[in-house]
Chain A
Amino acid sequence: ETGVTQTPRHLVMGMTNKKSLKCEQHLGHNAMYWYKQSAKKPLELMFVYNFKEQTENNSVPSRFSPECPNSSHLFLHLHTLQPEDSALYLCASSLALASGNTIYFGEGSWLTVV
């Protein structure tokens, strides 16, 4: 248990569906991240939030829409995804954005797009 909780753990969605992934951290951290893990590529950073403000969008397609209502919660809204978007989506957090602050990952949400 890392203190970073992701729901749902598994999600199957059609290409025309709208769904959301939720992340909650109970660590009092101020920075939160979305990473994508797929079989064909290394772990890829998608978005970074610091004190609920987005500081990084790593050229992610607009069909992925993040939302950070407060420092403890992070959402990833999904709309009109493609089969190649099927992957493990990992949420993470750290106390601060500065280098060296340990990043704690959740267990991930397995997404399958059919």
Chain B
Amino acid sequence: QQQVKQSPQSLIVQKGGISIINCAYENTAFDYFPWYQQFPGKGPALLIAIRPDVSEKKEGRFTISFNKSAKQFSLHIMDSQPGDSATYFCAALSGGYNKLIFGAGTRLAVHP
């Protein structure tokens, strides 16, 4: 019940396309859903985050869509660029406590 399931494991997108990464969870106590971006040789860095009281949050080319009833959330990268090539992790936490539960990660490659 503490798991966050992420798909796909890897994704190849052409430059200018839309990248979509999906996550699902079971624990209804989760109340904060961040996405992290990790480049090779670097630690993960917070990209964007959402709370379940909103259905969508947009920051630049990055959008989180959240479906509370389905217990799913997704990351959309519009106009994908080669510089977006990285591994993306969804995560969740609950109970007012900063204990991140991570998905398995999606390796995104954006081809020119």
Q: With contacts defined as CB atoms under 8 Å apart, how many contacts are there between chain A and chain B in the complex?
A: 59
Q: Provided the pairs A42-B104, A42-B105 are in contact, do residues A107 and B98 lie with their beta carbons within 8 angstroms?
A: no
* A14-22, A74-82, A98-106 - interface stretch: A98-106
| A2 to B36 alpha-carbon distance, docked (Å) | 14
The reply to whether the CB of B42 lies closer than 8 angstroms to some CB of chain A is yes
Query: Please, which residues of chain A bring their CB within 8 A of the CB of B45?
Result: 2, 104-105
**Please, which residues of chain B bring their CB within 8 A of the CB of A107?**
41-43
Interface pair B32/A108, CB less than 8 Å apart: no
Main secondary structure of the interface of B (DSSP, over half): loop
Q: How far is the CA of A41 from the CA of B66 in the complex (A)?
A: 25
B21 to chain A, nearest CB (A): 14
List the 8 closest A-B pairs by CB distance, nearest first. Answer: A105-B43, A43-B102, A42-B102, A42-B104, A99-B96, A107-B43, A99-B32, A105-B44
Number of chain B residues close to chain A: CB under 8 A:
24
Report the bound CA distance from A97 to B45 in whole Å.
18
**Contact string against A for B residues 73-112, beta-carbon threshold 8 Å, 1 for contact and 0 otherwise:** 0000000000000000100011111111011110000000
The residue in A4, A103, A108 that gathers the most chain B C-beta atoms within 10 A of its C-beta is A103
In the complex, are the beta carbons of B43 and A90 less than 8 A apart?
A: yes
Give the residue of A41, A45, A105 whose beta carbon is less than 8 angstroms from that of B99.
Answer: A45
**Given B31, B46, B103, which contacts A103 in the complex, CB threshold below 8 Å?**
B46
Interface of A is mostly: strand
B44 and A98 form a contact (CB under 8 A): no
CA distance A15 to B44 in the complex (A): 28
Inter-chain CA distance A51–B94, complex, in Å, is 21
Can you name 24 A-B residue pairings with CB atoms under 8 Å?
A2-B45, A42-B4, A42-B89, A42-B102, A43-B89, A43-B102, A43-B105, A44-B102, A48-B98, A90-B44, A92-B43, A97-B98, A98-B96, A99-B31, A99-B32, A99-B93, A99-B97, A99-B98, A100-B32, A100-B49, A101-B98, A104-B45, A104-B46, A107-B43
